[in-house]
Amino acid sequence: MSAVPHLLFIDDEATLRGLMADRLTERGFDVVEADSGERALQLLDQFAFDVVITDLRLPGIDGARVIEAARDRYPGIVAIVITGFGTVKDAVAAMQRGASDFVEKPFQFDKLLHVLQKAMENRRLTSEVAYLKSQLDDRSQFGEILGRSRPMQKLFHLLETVARSNSTILITGETGTGKEVVARAIHRHSARHSHRFVALNCSAIPETLLEAELFGHVRGAFTGAVGARQGRFEQANKGTLFLDEVGTMSTALQMKLLRALQEREFERVGESQSIKVDVRVIAATNSELAKMVAEGTFREDLYYRLHVIPIQLPPLRDRRDDIPLLVKHFLEKFAPGTPMQLSQDAMRALMAYQWPGNVRQLENAIERAVALGAGRREVDVLDLPVEVQTTSEDAVAPFVDFPDSGLDLPVYLATIERELIQRSLERTGGNRNKAAELLRIKRTTLVEKLKRLGHD
Ligand SMILES: Nc1ncnc2c1ncn2[C@@H]1O[C@H](COP(=O)(O)OP(=O)(O)OP(=O)(O)O)[C@@H](O)[C@H]1O
Ligand SMILES: [Mg+2]
Protein backbone atom coordinates (compact mmCIF):
# COMPACT_ATOMS: atom_id res chain seq x y z
CA MET A 1 0.00 0.00 0.00
CA SER A 2 1.29 3.45 -0.85
CA ALA A 3 2.38 5.78 1.97
CA VAL A 4 -0.78 7.89 1.69
CA PRO A 5 -3.70 5.48 1.25
CA HIS A 6 -5.97 6.48 -1.63
CA LEU A 7 -9.57 6.09 -0.66
CA LEU A 8 -12.76 6.22 -2.71
CA PHE A 9 -15.87 7.17 -0.72
CA ILE A 10 -19.24 6.50 -2.30
CA ASP A 11 -22.55 7.74 -0.90
CA ASP A 12 -25.45 9.48 -2.57
CA GLU A 13 -26.07 11.53 0.55
CA ALA A 14 -23.92 14.63 0.12
CA THR A 15 -23.81 15.83 3.75
CA LEU A 16 -22.68 12.55 5.25
CA ARG A 17 -20.24 12.00 2.38
CA GLY A 18 -18.66 15.42 2.78
CA LEU A 19 -18.37 15.02 6.53
CA MET A 20 -16.74 11.60 6.34
CA ALA A 21 -14.41 12.72 3.56
CA ASP A 22 -13.19 15.62 5.73
CA ARG A 23 -12.60 13.44 8.76
CA LEU A 24 -10.78 10.78 6.71
CA THR A 25 -8.63 13.47 5.12
CA GLU A 26 -7.71 14.70 8.59
CA ARG A 27 -6.58 11.14 9.34
CA GLY A 28 -4.16 11.12 6.44
CA PHE A 29 -6.23 9.55 3.66
CA ASP A 30 -6.30 10.94 0.16
CA VAL A 31 -10.08 10.91 -0.39
CA VAL A 32 -12.01 11.00 -3.65
CA GLU A 33 -15.81 11.23 -3.43
CA ALA A 34 -18.42 9.68 -5.70
CA ASP A 35 -22.18 10.18 -5.51
CA SER A 36 -23.20 7.07 -7.46
CA GLY A 37 -22.15 3.53 -8.32
CA GLU A 38 -21.74 4.51 -11.97
CA ARG A 39 -19.35 7.33 -11.10
CA ALA A 40 -17.46 4.98 -8.76
CA LEU A 41 -16.88 2.43 -11.52
CA GLN A 42 -15.56 5.18 -13.78
CA LEU A 43 -13.14 6.32 -11.08
CA LEU A 44 -12.05 2.76 -10.36
CA ASP A 45 -11.19 2.39 -14.03
CA GLN A 46 -8.93 5.40 -13.86
CA PHE A 47 -7.11 4.87 -10.61
CA ALA A 48 -5.86 2.07 -8.38
CA PHE A 49 -7.40 2.98 -5.03
CA ASP A 50 -6.18 1.25 -1.88
CA VAL A 51 -9.51 1.50 -0.11
CA VAL A 52 -13.13 1.77 -1.19
CA ILE A 53 -15.92 2.62 1.25
CA THR A 54 -19.40 2.50 -0.16
CA ASP A 55 -22.96 2.84 0.96
CA LEU A 56 -24.81 -0.34 0.14
CA ARG A 57 -28.04 1.28 -1.03
CA LEU A 58 -27.40 3.46 -4.01
CA PRO A 59 -29.69 4.42 -6.84
CA GLY A 60 -28.64 2.51 -9.97
CA ILE A 61 -25.56 0.37 -9.49
CA ASP A 62 -25.55 -0.61 -5.84
CA GLY A 63 -22.71 -0.90 -3.34
CA ALA A 64 -22.37 -4.68 -3.62
CA ARG A 65 -21.67 -4.39 -7.34
CA VAL A 66 -19.19 -1.60 -6.74
CA ILE A 67 -17.33 -3.84 -4.30
CA GLU A 68 -17.36 -6.69 -6.74
CA ALA A 69 -16.01 -4.50 -9.53
CA ALA A 70 -13.34 -3.04 -7.24
CA ARG A 71 -12.22 -6.52 -6.19
CA ASP A 72 -12.12 -7.71 -9.78
CA ARG A 73 -9.81 -4.91 -10.75
CA TYR A 74 -7.69 -4.78 -7.61
CA PRO A 75 -7.81 -8.06 -5.67
CA GLY A 76 -5.83 -6.50 -2.82
CA ILE A 77 -8.20 -3.56 -2.28
CA VAL A 78 -9.71 -2.96 1.16
CA ALA A 79 -13.49 -2.67 0.71
CA ILE A 80 -15.92 -1.55 3.42
CA VAL A 81 -19.71 -1.34 3.05
CA ILE A 82 -22.00 0.92 4.97
CA THR A 83 -25.40 -0.64 5.49
CA GLY A 84 -28.72 0.73 6.61
CA PHE A 85 -30.11 -0.23 9.98
CA GLY A 86 -31.35 -3.82 10.06
CA THR A 87 -29.92 -4.89 6.70
CA VAL A 88 -27.30 -7.24 8.05
CA LYS A 89 -28.36 -9.85 5.52
CA ASP A 90 -27.38 -7.48 2.72
CA ALA A 91 -24.09 -6.80 4.47
CA VAL A 92 -23.35 -10.50 4.56
CA ALA A 93 -24.13 -10.73 0.86
CA ALA A 94 -21.69 -7.87 0.25
CA MET A 95 -19.03 -9.67 2.27
CA GLN A 96 -19.52 -12.67 0.05
CA ARG A 97 -18.79 -10.49 -2.92
CA GLY A 98 -15.49 -9.48 -1.42
CA ALA A 99 -16.13 -6.73 1.14
CA SER A 100 -13.59 -6.74 3.96
CA ASP A 101 -16.04 -5.58 6.63
CA PHE A 102 -19.16 -3.50 7.16
CA VAL A 103 -20.52 -0.71 9.41
CA GLU A 104 -24.15 -0.26 10.27
CA LYS A 105 -25.88 3.09 10.03
CA PRO A 106 -26.13 5.22 12.07
CA PHE A 107 -22.48 5.14 13.08
CA GLN A 108 -19.86 7.34 14.68
CA PHE A 109 -16.79 8.23 12.68
CA ASP A 110 -14.60 6.43 15.22
CA LYS A 111 -16.46 3.21 14.57
CA LEU A 112 -15.82 3.50 10.84
CA LEU A 113 -12.18 4.35 11.43
CA HIS A 114 -11.76 1.36 13.70
CA VAL A 115 -13.24 -1.06 11.15
CA LEU A 116 -11.15 0.52 8.42
CA GLN A 117 -7.90 0.29 10.35
CA LYS A 118 -8.55 -3.31 11.26
CA ALA A 119 -9.20 -4.22 7.62
CA MET A 120 -6.05 -2.42 6.51
CA GLU A 121 -3.99 -4.20 9.13
CA ASN A 122 -5.36 -7.56 7.95
CA ARG A 123 -4.54 -6.64 4.42
CA ARG A 124 -1.00 -5.72 5.40
CA LEU A 125 -0.49 -8.99 7.23
CA THR A 126 -1.85 -11.01 4.32
CA SER A 127 0.50 -9.38 1.87
CA GLU A 128 3.38 -9.76 4.29
CA VAL A 129 2.72 -13.48 4.61
CA ALA A 130 2.50 -13.74 0.82
CA TYR A 131 5.81 -11.91 0.57
CA LEU A 132 7.50 -14.13 3.14
CA LYS A 133 6.18 -17.18 1.34
CA SER A 134 7.57 -15.96 -1.95
CA GLN A 135 10.90 -15.41 -0.23
CA LEU A 136 10.83 -19.00 0.93
CA ASP A 137 10.10 -20.23 -2.56
CA ASP A 138 12.93 -18.19 -3.93
CA ARG A 139 15.58 -18.96 -1.42
CA SER A 140 19.29 -18.68 -1.96
CA GLN A 141 20.28 -21.74 0.00
CA PHE A 142 19.48 -25.42 0.33
CA GLY A 143 21.48 -26.91 3.16
CA GLU A 144 25.04 -25.88 2.44
CA ILE A 145 24.34 -25.31 -1.23
CA LEU A 146 24.26 -21.66 -2.18
CA GLY A 147 22.66 -20.38 -5.35
CA ARG A 148 20.26 -17.73 -6.47
CA SER A 149 20.49 -18.35 -10.21
CA ARG A 150 17.69 -19.95 -12.15
CA PRO A 151 19.41 -23.32 -12.62
CA MET A 152 20.09 -23.50 -8.88
CA GLN A 153 16.51 -22.57 -7.99
CA LYS A 154 15.34 -25.40 -10.21
CA LEU A 155 17.83 -27.70 -8.53
CA PHE A 156 16.52 -26.78 -5.06
CA HIS A 157 12.99 -27.71 -6.08
CA LEU A 158 14.19 -31.00 -7.45
CA LEU A 159 16.23 -31.75 -4.33
CA GLU A 160 13.28 -31.11 -2.09
CA THR A 161 11.28 -33.73 -3.94
CA VAL A 162 13.98 -36.36 -4.34
CA ALA A 163 15.13 -36.06 -0.73
CA ARG A 164 11.80 -37.52 0.31
CA SER A 165 12.12 -40.55 -1.97
CA ASN A 166 14.32 -43.58 -1.59
CA SER A 167 15.35 -43.82 -5.22
CA THR A 168 18.92 -44.14 -6.33
CA ILE A 169 20.36 -40.88 -7.56
CA LEU A 170 23.13 -40.21 -10.04
CA ILE A 171 24.74 -36.80 -9.73
CA THR A 172 26.79 -35.63 -12.67
CA GLY A 173 28.77 -32.47 -13.05
CA GLU A 174 32.24 -31.13 -13.69
CA THR A 175 34.79 -31.16 -10.92
CA GLY A 176 34.03 -28.72 -8.12
CA THR A 177 30.37 -28.16 -9.03
CA GLY A 178 29.26 -29.42 -5.63
CA LYS A 179 28.33 -33.06 -6.20
CA GLU A 180 29.30 -34.07 -2.70
CA VAL A 181 27.63 -31.04 -1.10
CA VAL A 182 24.44 -31.96 -2.95
CA ALA A 183 24.64 -35.61 -1.85
CA ARG A 184 25.01 -34.56 1.79
CA ALA A 185 22.14 -32.09 1.51
CA ILE A 186 19.87 -34.79 0.11
CA HIS A 187 20.72 -37.05 3.03
CA ARG A 188 20.14 -34.31 5.56
CA HIS A 189 16.73 -33.50 4.11
CA SER A 190 15.66 -37.14 3.90
CA ALA A 191 13.89 -39.36 6.42
CA ARG A 192 17.25 -41.11 6.82
CA HIS A 193 18.99 -38.07 8.28
CA SER A 194 19.31 -39.53 11.77
CA HIS A 195 21.33 -42.44 10.33
CA ARG A 196 24.73 -42.31 8.73
CA PHE A 197 25.92 -40.69 5.56
CA VAL A 198 28.82 -42.84 4.39
CA ALA A 199 30.99 -41.62 1.56
CA LEU A 200 33.35 -43.69 -0.53
CA ASN A 201 35.52 -42.35 -3.29
CA CYS A 202 35.83 -45.28 -5.68
CA SER A 203 38.84 -43.81 -7.48
CA ALA A 204 40.87 -43.32 -4.32
CA ILE A 205 41.06 -47.00 -3.44
CA PRO A 206 42.99 -49.67 -5.34
CA GLU A 207 40.65 -51.91 -7.28
CA THR A 208 41.73 -54.99 -5.33
CA LEU A 209 40.62 -53.42 -2.06
CA LEU A 210 37.52 -51.68 -3.31
CA GLU A 211 35.29 -54.73 -3.10
CA ALA A 212 36.21 -55.34 0.54
CA GLU A 213 35.75 -51.65 1.24
CA LEU A 214 32.23 -51.75 -0.21
CA PHE A 215 31.01 -55.06 1.11
CA GLY A 216 33.34 -55.87 4.00
CA HIS A 217 35.43 -58.98 4.47
CA VAL A 218 36.01 -61.88 6.81
CA ARG A 219 39.27 -62.61 8.60
CA GLY A 220 41.91 -63.90 6.24
CA ALA A 221 39.87 -63.13 3.11
CA PHE A 222 43.00 -61.71 1.52
CA THR A 223 46.56 -60.92 2.51
CA GLY A 224 46.43 -58.33 5.23
CA ALA A 225 42.84 -59.02 6.22
CA VAL A 226 43.69 -59.67 9.82
CA GLY A 227 40.22 -59.23 11.22
CA ALA A 228 36.70 -59.19 9.86
CA ARG A 229 35.41 -55.79 8.78
CA GLN A 230 32.11 -54.20 7.93
CA GLY A 231 31.90 -52.68 4.49
CA ARG A 232 30.49 -49.27 3.65
CA PHE A 233 27.15 -50.77 2.65
CA GLU A 234 26.72 -52.17 6.14
CA GLN A 235 27.93 -48.99 7.81
CA ALA A 236 25.34 -47.04 5.88
CA ASN A 237 22.45 -49.32 6.88
CA LYS A 238 19.25 -47.24 7.18
CA GLY A 239 21.25 -44.25 5.97
CA THR A 240 22.81 -43.08 2.71
CA LEU A 241 25.81 -44.42 0.84
CA PHE A 242 27.57 -41.92 -1.39
CA LEU A 243 29.63 -43.58 -4.12
CA ASP A 244 31.86 -40.91 -5.60
CA GLU A 245 33.62 -41.32 -8.97
CA VAL A 246 31.58 -44.40 -9.68
CA GLY A 247 32.78 -44.39 -13.29
CA THR A 248 36.21 -45.65 -12.29
CA MET A 249 35.01 -49.04 -11.06
CA SER A 250 36.10 -52.21 -12.89
CA THR A 251 33.42 -54.09 -14.82
CA ALA A 252 33.69 -57.07 -12.45
CA LEU A 253 32.92 -54.88 -9.47
CA GLN A 254 30.22 -53.05 -11.42
CA MET A 255 28.37 -56.33 -11.58
CA LYS A 256 28.57 -56.85 -7.85
CA LEU A 257 27.36 -53.33 -7.24
CA LEU A 258 24.49 -53.92 -9.62
CA ARG A 259 23.42 -56.94 -7.62
CA ALA A 260 23.66 -55.07 -4.34
CA LEU A 261 21.46 -52.32 -5.78
CA GLN A 262 18.93 -54.72 -7.21
CA GLU A 263 18.66 -57.22 -4.40
CA ARG A 264 19.74 -54.97 -1.55
CA GLU A 265 21.93 -57.85 -0.49
CA PHE A 266 25.56 -58.88 -0.91
CA GLU A 267 28.26 -61.03 0.62
CA ARG A 268 31.34 -60.00 2.50
CA VAL A 269 34.56 -60.95 0.75
CA GLY A 270 35.48 -64.50 1.76
CA GLU A 271 32.01 -65.41 2.95
CA SER A 272 29.05 -67.02 1.20
CA GLN A 273 26.31 -65.88 3.53
CA SER A 274 24.41 -62.85 2.25
CA ILE A 275 23.73 -59.74 4.22
CA LYS A 276 20.62 -57.63 3.70
CA VAL A 277 20.73 -53.88 4.12
CA ASP A 278 18.46 -50.89 3.71
CA VAL A 279 20.63 -48.30 2.04
CA ARG A 280 19.90 -45.40 -0.21
CA VAL A 281 22.63 -45.02 -2.80
CA ILE A 282 23.70 -41.71 -4.29
CA ALA A 283 26.37 -42.02 -6.94
CA ALA A 284 28.41 -39.25 -8.50
CA THR A 285 30.66 -38.95 -11.50
CA ASN A 286 32.39 -36.31 -13.53
CA SER A 287 32.91 -38.65 -16.46
CA GLU A 288 30.26 -39.11 -19.08
CA LEU A 289 28.79 -42.44 -18.11
CA ALA A 290 26.50 -42.54 -21.14
CA LYS A 291 29.56 -42.33 -23.37
CA MET A 292 31.30 -45.01 -21.34
CA VAL A 293 28.26 -47.22 -21.82
CA ALA A 294 28.46 -46.68 -25.58
CA GLU A 295 32.16 -47.51 -25.47
CA GLY A 296 31.49 -50.64 -23.44
CA THR A 297 33.48 -49.60 -20.35
CA PHE A 298 30.46 -49.11 -18.13
CA ARG A 299 27.65 -51.65 -17.77
CA GLU A 300 24.45 -50.44 -19.32
CA ASP A 301 22.25 -52.21 -16.75
CA LEU A 302 24.14 -50.60 -13.88
CA TYR A 303 23.93 -47.23 -15.59
CA TYR A 304 20.14 -47.47 -15.68
CA ARG A 305 20.04 -48.68 -12.08
CA LEU A 306 21.96 -45.62 -10.97
CA HIS A 307 20.29 -43.26 -13.36
CA VAL A 308 16.83 -43.56 -11.74
CA ILE A 309 16.96 -39.91 -10.76
CA PRO A 310 19.64 -38.01 -12.67
CA ILE A 311 20.80 -34.69 -11.27
CA GLN A 312 23.00 -32.60 -13.49
CA LEU A 313 24.91 -29.82 -11.76
CA PRO A 314 25.55 -26.77 -13.91
CA PRO A 315 29.11 -25.49 -14.29
CA LEU A 316 29.76 -22.18 -12.56
CA ARG A 317 30.27 -20.35 -15.87
CA ASP A 318 26.64 -21.12 -16.72
CA ARG A 319 25.40 -19.45 -13.56
CA ARG A 320 27.69 -16.49 -13.12
CA ASP A 321 25.03 -14.55 -11.27
CA ASP A 322 25.75 -16.82 -8.28
CA ILE A 323 29.36 -15.64 -8.12
CA PRO A 324 28.75 -12.57 -5.89
CA LEU A 325 26.78 -14.68 -3.41
CA LEU A 326 29.48 -17.35 -3.29
CA VAL A 327 32.23 -14.76 -3.00
CA LYS A 328 30.51 -13.14 -0.03
CA HIS A 329 30.14 -16.55 1.60
CA PHE A 330 33.79 -17.46 1.09
CA LEU A 331 35.00 -14.03 2.24
CA GLU A 332 33.14 -14.60 5.50
CA LYS A 333 34.46 -18.13 5.72
CA PHE A 334 38.12 -17.17 5.30
CA ALA A 335 38.08 -13.80 7.00
CA PRO A 336 35.46 -14.21 9.70
CA GLY A 337 34.64 -11.09 11.62
CA THR A 338 36.67 -8.75 9.45
CA PRO A 339 34.37 -7.48 6.73
CA MET A 340 36.49 -7.77 3.60
CA GLN A 341 35.29 -6.44 0.31
CA LEU A 342 36.25 -7.09 -3.27
CA SER A 343 37.35 -4.26 -5.50
CA GLN A 344 35.17 -3.66 -8.56
CA ASP A 345 38.02 -4.79 -10.80
CA ALA A 346 38.46 -7.99 -8.85
CA MET A 347 34.74 -8.76 -9.01
CA ARG A 348 34.73 -8.05 -12.72
CA ALA A 349 37.59 -10.49 -13.25
CA LEU A 350 35.79 -13.17 -11.23
CA MET A 351 32.62 -12.67 -13.24
CA ALA A 352 34.47 -12.93 -16.53
CA TYR A 353 36.58 -16.00 -15.84
CA GLN A 354 35.62 -19.45 -17.15
CA TRP A 355 36.13 -21.39 -13.88
CA PRO A 356 37.08 -24.84 -15.17
CA GLY A 357 37.40 -25.94 -11.52
CA ASN A 358 34.03 -24.40 -10.70
CA VAL A 359 33.05 -23.52 -7.11
CA ARG A 360 36.06 -25.27 -5.59
CA GLN A 361 38.40 -23.18 -7.73
CA LEU A 362 36.52 -20.02 -6.79
CA GLU A 363 36.75 -20.97 -3.13
CA ASN A 364 40.50 -21.50 -3.44
CA ALA A 365 40.92 -18.19 -5.26
CA ILE A 366 39.14 -16.32 -2.47
CA GLU A 367 41.09 -18.11 0.23
CA ARG A 368 44.32 -17.11 -1.46
CA ALA A 369 43.17 -13.53 -2.03
CA VAL A 370 42.17 -13.15 1.62
CA ALA A 371 45.61 -14.37 2.70
CA LEU A 372 47.38 -11.99 0.32
CA GLY A 373 45.12 -9.10 1.24
CA ALA A 374 45.52 -9.65 4.97
CA GLY A 375 45.33 -6.38 6.87
CA ARG A 376 43.57 -4.60 4.02
CA ARG A 377 39.83 -3.99 3.80
CA GLU A 378 39.68 -4.66 0.11
CA VAL A 379 40.78 -7.60 -2.01
CA ASP A 380 42.28 -6.36 -5.24
CA VAL A 381 42.47 -7.91 -8.69
CA LEU A 382 46.19 -8.45 -8.14
CA ASP A 383 45.40 -10.73 -5.20
CA LEU A 384 43.64 -13.13 -7.56
CA PRO A 385 45.40 -16.05 -9.29
CA VAL A 386 47.06 -14.85 -12.46
CA GLU A 387 44.84 -16.89 -14.79
CA VAL A 388 41.80 -15.18 -13.32
CA GLN A 389 43.35 -11.72 -13.73
CA THR A 390 44.04 -12.15 -17.40
CA THR A 391 40.86 -13.42 -18.88
CA SER A 392 40.91 -12.96 -22.63
CA GLU A 393 38.65 -10.24 -23.88
CA ASP A 394 36.61 -12.65 -25.97
CA ALA A 395 35.44 -14.49 -22.92
CA VAL A 396 34.32 -11.33 -21.18
CA ALA A 397 30.58 -11.20 -21.08
CA PRO A 398 29.95 -7.49 -20.71
CA PHE A 399 29.58 -7.37 -16.99
CA VAL A 400 27.21 -4.67 -15.94
CA ASP A 401 27.54 -2.79 -12.69
CA PHE A 402 23.92 -2.62 -11.69
CA PRO A 403 23.34 0.83 -10.20
CA ASP A 404 21.22 1.10 -7.05
CA SER A 405 18.95 3.56 -8.81
CA GLY A 406 18.26 1.04 -11.58
CA LEU A 407 18.84 1.59 -15.26
CA ASP A 408 16.97 2.16 -18.49
CA LEU A 409 17.17 -1.27 -20.11
CA PRO A 410 16.57 -0.31 -23.77
CA VAL A 411 19.07 2.54 -23.54
CA TYR A 412 21.58 0.31 -21.79
CA LEU A 413 21.24 -2.49 -24.29
CA ALA A 414 21.56 -0.06 -27.17
CA THR A 415 24.78 1.28 -25.68
CA ILE A 416 26.22 -2.20 -25.34
CA GLU A 417 25.10 -3.07 -28.86
CA ARG A 418 26.76 0.03 -30.28
CA GLU A 419 29.97 -0.75 -28.39
CA LEU A 420 30.10 -4.34 -29.64
CA ILE A 421 29.34 -3.34 -33.23
CA GLN A 422 32.08 -0.75 -33.12
CA ARG A 423 34.55 -3.29 -31.77
CA SER A 424 33.62 -5.82 -34.43
CA LEU A 425 34.30 -3.22 -37.12
CA GLU A 426 37.62 -2.27 -35.53
CA ARG A 427 38.59 -5.92 -35.37
CA THR A 428 37.82 -6.43 -39.07
CA GLY A 429 39.23 -3.17 -40.30
CA GLY A 430 35.75 -1.96 -41.19
CA ASN A 431 34.83 -5.02 -43.25
CA ARG A 432 31.09 -5.35 -42.74
CA ASN A 433 30.85 -8.89 -44.06
CA LYS A 434 33.41 -10.12 -41.59
CA ALA A 435 32.01 -8.01 -38.77
CA ALA A 436 28.55 -9.47 -39.34
CA GLU A 437 30.09 -12.93 -39.30
CA LEU A 438 31.82 -12.22 -35.97
CA LEU A 439 28.53 -11.00 -34.53
CA ARG A 440 26.66 -14.02 -35.93
CA ILE A 441 24.14 -11.77 -37.64
CA LYS A 442 23.26 -11.21 -41.28
CA ARG A 443 25.10 -8.48 -43.12
CA THR A 444 21.79 -6.78 -43.89
CA THR A 445 20.95 -6.75 -40.17
CA LEU A 446 24.30 -5.13 -39.42
CA VAL A 447 23.77 -2.50 -42.11
CA GLU A 448 20.34 -1.75 -40.68
CA LYS A 449 21.72 -1.38 -37.19
CA LEU A 450 24.51 0.91 -38.44
CA LYS A 451 21.90 3.09 -40.11
CA ARG A 452 19.98 3.36 -36.87
CA LEU A 453 23.16 4.25 -35.04
CA GLY A 454 23.74 7.07 -37.48
CA HIS A 455 26.53 5.60 -39.59
CA ASP A 456 25.77 6.42 -43.25
N1 LIG B 1 26.54 -24.38 -4.50
C2 LIG B 1 27.53 -24.33 -3.60
N3 LIG B 1 27.42 -23.52 -2.54
C4 LIG B 1 28.43 -23.45 -1.64
N5 LIG B 1 29.56 -24.13 -1.71
C6 LIG B 1 29.73 -24.94 -2.75
C7 LIG B 1 28.72 -25.09 -3.75
N8 LIG B 1 29.15 -25.96 -4.67
C9 LIG B 1 30.36 -26.35 -4.25
N10 LIG B 1 30.72 -25.76 -3.11
C11 LIG B 1 32.01 -25.91 -2.41
O12 LIG B 1 32.96 -26.21 -3.40
C13 LIG B 1 33.82 -27.26 -3.00
C14 LIG B 1 33.70 -28.43 -3.95
O15 LIG B 1 32.45 -29.07 -3.83
P16 LIG B 1 32.31 -30.65 -3.98
O17 LIG B 1 33.43 -31.33 -3.28
O18 LIG B 1 30.93 -31.03 -3.62
O19 LIG B 1 32.52 -30.78 -5.55
P20 LIG B 1 32.45 -32.06 -6.48
O21 LIG B 1 31.45 -31.78 -7.54
O22 LIG B 1 32.24 -33.26 -5.63
O23 LIG B 1 33.89 -32.07 -7.15
P24 LIG B 1 34.82 -33.31 -7.62
O25 LIG B 1 34.20 -33.85 -8.88
O26 LIG B 1 36.12 -32.67 -7.89
O27 LIG B 1 34.83 -34.29 -6.50
C28 LIG B 1 33.41 -27.60 -1.59
O29 LIG B 1 34.28 -26.93 -0.71
C30 LIG B 1 32.02 -27.08 -1.46
O31 LIG B 1 31.76 -26.68 -0.15
MG1 LIG C 1 33.52 -34.86 -5.17
Tell me which residue has its CA closest to atom 18 in ligand 1. 178
Query: What is the Å distance from ligand 1's center to 354 Cα?
Result: 16
Ligand 1 atom nearest to 141, measured from its CA: 3
Radius of gyration of the chain (CA): 33
Give residue-wise pLDDT tens across range 77-135: 999 999 887 777 888 888 888 899 989 888 899 999 999 999 998 888 877 776 666 55
Q: Residue 51 region, left (φ>0) first, then alpha (ψ -120 to 50), else beta?
A: beta
Tell me, using a 6 A CB cutoff, whether residue 185 lines ligand 1: no
Per DSSP, 322 falls in state G
Tell me, using a 6 A CB cutoff, whether residue 315 lines ligand 1: no
The mean pLDDT value for 376-382 works out to: 88
Tell me, using a 6 A CB cutoff, whether residue 178 lines ligand 1: yes
The C-alpha atoms of residue 48 and residue 76 are separated, in whole angstroms, by 10
With a cut of 80, say whether residue 332 has pLDDT above it: yes
pLDDT at 396: 47
Query: What is the Å distance from ligand 1's center to 175 Cα?
Result: 8
The mean pLDDT value for 226-244 works out to: 91
Tell me, using a 6 A CB cutoff, whether residue 175 lines ligand 1: yes
Q: Round the average pLDDT of the chain to a whole number and report it.
A: 88
Query: What is the Å distance from ligand 1's center to 230 Cα?
Result: 28
Strands of 231-308 (E only): list them: 240-244, 265-267, 274-276, 280-285
Give residue-wise pLDDT tens across range 40-78: 999 998 888 899 999 999 999 999 999 999 988 887 899
With a cut of 60, say whether residue 32 has pLDDT above it: yes
Our mutation pick for probing the ligand 1 site, out of 181, 246, 331, counting the most ligand atoms within 8 A of Cβ, is 181
Ligand 1 atom nearest to 179, measured from its CA: 21
pLDDT at 83: 87
Tell me, using a 6 A CB cutoff, whether residue 140 lines ligand 1: no
Q: List, in order, residues 6 or more apart from 289 with CB less than 8 Å away.
A: 170, 172, 246, 247, 298, 303, 306, 307
Ligand 1 atom nearest to 201, measured from its CA: 27
The C-alpha atoms of residue 366 and residue 348 are separated, in whole angstroms, by 14
